[in-house]
Structure 1
Amino acid sequence: MENYQYEKKPRVLCLHGHGSNAEILTKELVLGWPQFLLEKLDLVFLDGPFLLQDKVDAHDIFHPPYYEWFQANKDFKEIYNFEECLQYIEANMEKYGLFDGVLGFSQGATLSASMPGMQREKVALTKVPKIKFVIIIAGAKFGGLEFGCPKLASNAFASPIECPSLHFIGEKDPHILNEEELTGCFMNPVVIHYPEGHKVPNLDAESIETVIEFINKVKKIKMPLQGNSNL
């Protein structure tokens, strides 16, 4: 019989946005979320597998290199190197796991949102434990309003995603329709609206309480005993 315990800190793989890196997402969360809240999760930040090919000026206060999780044409209708991306993520989940959930921002959120469905369909991430929850910041749906759909994710949203999900939607985000579309792919999604654009939000007191409630909920999910948490 497998040995289980209720983990105090769910272990979360964190995936940054397009043209970003693990250091940037770490700092964005530290600036926008209170420390006591971040300390409720065991956060592990990973760089994307591909060096960014385009010039990015938005991160001039941060040091390159910048990365992307997968590559695409200019309108994101054709997506490339997606299988390699998933193999890279799975290898790191095996190396640094066990992971209980995934948190993603922007491109990382779009990827994160598709992962439970691909696991359900047994087309990807089959060597690692089932993802038990997702935290989605400014994500979009593969095959939705703006994104094309890589082959491996073609059935990821064929039926509603059942794992608990927490979604952050910026009221001034130009991609807000994508984010709202994505929430409809999950059963009983928890949604936090924030009055900012396409960025990691600064959480107010009400949002912090909602996040704490979500964390307390996922902590009750039985999780395998954790390994070393140092990346």
Structure 2
Amino acid sequence: MYPINFDLSHARYTAGPRTLRKLRILCLHGFRQNASGFKGRTASLAKKLKSIAELVFVDAPHELPFIYQIRQNCDSASELENNHPPSESCNKKFSWLVAPDHKGENDSDWKIADSPFDPLQYQKQTEGFDKSIAYLKALYSKAGPFDGILGFSQGAAMAALVCLHQQKLKGQMEFRFAILCSGFAVNMNNCQQGSINVPSLHIFGSDKGKDRQIENEASKYLASLFENGCSVVIEHDFGHIIPARPPYIDQIKDFLKRFL
């Protein structure tokens, strides 16, 4: 069994004469990220949703090696060895899906980057679903239930796959809604438009949104796979982020209030 790392720091709350239950939302980080980093990046969002939602962050099960690029003026072997910080000073990074050539490293070794950053690298990360879904089922059994699932970037791709397999997962892992941010489709070539009937909120950069990592069309395509009558699309101009300012935060709240 894979170790399960998650954050349950937010508690349910009582207001007035009756007990109210916040929506519990499982949050999946992006590629080469981790739960603590994603929690930090979404702190403003969590603060603005704290009256209605409890966000639970979890590390993905595929641990990735650290990577670095060699400086062009590095000549000696000693310079190469000292060209990166010690592993123990770095936070581990994880992913939900990996490239076919991923060797399954689960340590903190450093790896030289094969090439400069490829903005389309997400299209190559197509393996590892079985390990990730088994991990999420175990987590759901231990820390669930959850009302919804939220994914960012590759986390949104994984969340979409969970929604696609919702019928198969019934009784093991069920979500009433999904929030997919800067998402894209992976291994969904046989999925018909409008065929995923999980209520969904899609948040991504517009054509001019300056998201240099996930193309606008990729996120639009993913949104099209969900039933149109129960999906909401929010496009913004702020790049590869989840905006927490008006009017976007108000639209997010409106979507969530449907499930209270």
Same fold (TM over 0.5): yes
Please, which of 205, 220, 227 is the counterpart of residue 246 of structure 2?
A: 205
Q: Which string of whole-angstrom CA distances, capped at 9 and with x for unpartnered residues, describes residues 151-187 of structure 1? A: xx66555752222111111121132110011111112
Q: What letter is aligned with 2:56?
A: V
Identity between Structure 1 and Structure 2 (%): 31
Contact 1:116 1:156 in 2 (8 A): no
Q: Which string of whole-angstrom CA distances, capped at 9 and with x for unpartnered residues, describes residues 95-139 of structure 1? A: 10011110010100111012122122x1xx344242110011100
SS in 2 for 1:11: strand
What is the CA–CA distance in structure 2 between the aligned matches of 1:34 and 1:157, rounded to whole Å?
Answer: 33
More deviation, 154-163/174-183: 154-163
Against the structure 1 CA distance between its residues 126 and 72, is the aligned structure 2 distance closer, same or farther, given a 3 Å change threshold? farther
Q: What letter is aligned with 1:113?
A: A
Give TM-score, length-normalised by structure 2: 0.68
What is the CA–CA distance in structure 2 between the aligned matches of 1:187 and 1:212, rounded to whole Å?
Answer: 20
Matched, 1:193 2:235: yes
Larger radius of gyration: 2
Q: Which string of whole-angstrom CA distances, capped at 9 and with x for unpartnered residues, describes residues 19-67 of structure 1? A: 0000011011114x2613244212111001011135279xx9x941011
Which position in structure 2 is the counterpart of 1:131? 175
Mapping of residues 94-113 of structure 1, within 5 Å = 94-113=141-160
Give TM-score, length-normalised by structure 1: 0.76
SS in 2 for 1:205: coil
Aligned residues: 197
Over aligned residues, Cα RMSD in angstroms?
A: 2.6
Which position in structure 1 is the counterpart of 2:139? 92
Contact 1:164 1:218 in 2 (8 A): no
Q: Per chain length, whose mean CA-contact separation is higher, i.e. which structure has more relative contact order (CA < 8 Å, sep 6+)?
A: 1
Unaligned runs of 5+ in 1: 1-5, 143-148, 220-231
Which position in structure 1 is the counterpart of 2:23? 10
What is the CA–CA distance in structure 2 between the aligned matches of 1:40 and 1:68, rounded to whole Å?
Answer: 28
Which position in structure 1 is the counterpart of 2:65? 53
What is the CA–CA distance in structure 1 between the aligned matches of 2:174 and 2:20, rounded to whole Å?
Answer: 16
Query: Offset of 1:196 from its aligned partner?
Result: 1.6
What is the CA–CA distance in structure 1 between the aligned matches of 2:21 and 2:68, rounded to whole Å?
Answer: 38
Contact 1:132 1:164 in 2 (8 A): yes
Unaligned runs of 5+ in 2: 1-18, 70-84, 101-120
Contact 1:173 1:197 in 2 (8 A): yes
Please, which of 150, 162, 173 is the counterpart of residue 115 of structure 1?
A: 162
Contact 1:16 1:25 in 2 (8 A): yes
What is the CA–CA distance in structure 2 between the aligned matches of 1:65 and 1:193, rounded to whole Å?
Answer: 31
Mapping of residues 7-86 of structure 1, within 5 Å = 8-31=21-44, 33=45, 35-53=47-65, 55=67, 63-73=90-100, 76-77=123-124, 79-86=126-133
